[in-house]
Amino acid sequence: MEFKVGKMELNCKNDAFISSVTFSDAERDSGRPNEDNILKTAELLGEHGFVRMVNVFNPKMLSNLDSHYRNRYSSYLHNTNRPNRRPLFTVDVEGPFNDSEFFAHPLIIPVIKKMLGDNSILAALSSVVSFPGAPDQYIHRDAKQLFGKDYSVDKDIPAYSITVLIPLVDCNLQTGCTKVWPGSHLCGCEEDALKEPPIDPEVQRGSILMTDGRLVHRGGANVSELLRPLVYMTYHCHWYRDFGGYEDRPPVNITTKEFKKIPDNYKHMFSWTRDPYRMIRFKNLLRRAIPGSAIKLMRSLK
């Protein structure tokens, strides 16, 4: 949902205003977070609609992710002829991205379970790149309202969509922070959502920003000379589906070969990608498009 607002600029670097939880090196490297830190993270996320988790990814894992990412998606990283200098694309579940230490990170997934329940799914794995000179993004919420024309009902229900933003370089006021309107996830109308001034949480490489899908936010302009790649994962309650923005690309892309590598206790997280009705819809599409010549192909797909 896009918001129409006048010019409003406030770049706040005061960490006192930013909900944040720092994890120790021992928590990060062992994958055993302090329960108080998990509870505090979930509490801040519920109250403010966002929380910065500091020191989440160890340097080795992040280096592996970064190396695979830059090799696999180099065509996106060197083609600056993109709308708003901000290409958006799906990241395939393969290599280091097909690792439960990544998509079910032991410091992240406990917070997701606190907010969305044990049966939450991985609804999207994507990347947005900000080239030098990229302007401010439009102000929006990620999740569309469930009921009615605004969020007057949605604001009173528990979270159903959470996004984890993972910067591969430091996100600061030069490379572009994600500007957030604290508490806007609990506001039903546009006027209330924009009442409080926004802030710019700076997120260093190795840390993450977690946001409620109802939070009003926007990506900041990249006024530096550096490329700013950002990977994000979106988690949903198992009953929720968001098709907005995925008309031309899959929200999660995983082959059958890669899916077989997923540990059994995490396979439910990819249920959206194994949609049993997908093939039925594909067959029906073929039937309408080429009714005669599609018969043999449809039979072969059974």
Which pLDDT does position 41 carry in this prediction?
98
Instruction: Count the neighbouring beta carbons within 10 Å of the beta carbon of residue 127.
Output: 19
- pTM for the structure as a whole: 0.86
C-alpha 79/C-alpha 81 separation (Å) is 5
Q: How far apart are CA 118 and CA 114, in angstroms?
A: 8
What span, in angstroms and rounded, lies between the C-alpha atoms of 85 and 242? 25
Residue pair 263/103 in contact by the 8 Å Cβ criterion: no
The residues facing 162 across adjacent strands are 212, 235
User: Residue 7's pLDDT is what?
Assistant: 34
**Secondary structure E strands in the chain:** 20-22, 50-54, 88-90, 121-130, 161-167, 178-180, 208-212, 217-219, 228-236
What's the pLDDT score for residue 133?
92
pLDDT tens digits for the chain (302 residues)? 544 433 333 344 455 578 999 999 999 999 999 999 999 999 999 999 999 999 999 999 999 999 999 999 999 888 767 667 888 999 999 999 999 999 999 999 999 999 999 999 999 999 999 999 999 999 999 988 888 778 888 888 999 999 999 999 999 999 999 999 999 999 988 888 888 899 999 999 999 999 999 999 999 999 999 999 999 999 999 999 887 778 788 899 999 999 999 999 999 999 877 765 555 555 566 666 665 544 555 455 54
Question: What pLDDT was estimated at residue 6?
Answer: 34
- The number of angstroms, rounded, from the C-alpha of 117 to the middle of its chain's C-alpha atoms is 18
pLDDT number for residue 299: 52
Cβ–Cβ under 8 Å, residues 123 and 250: no
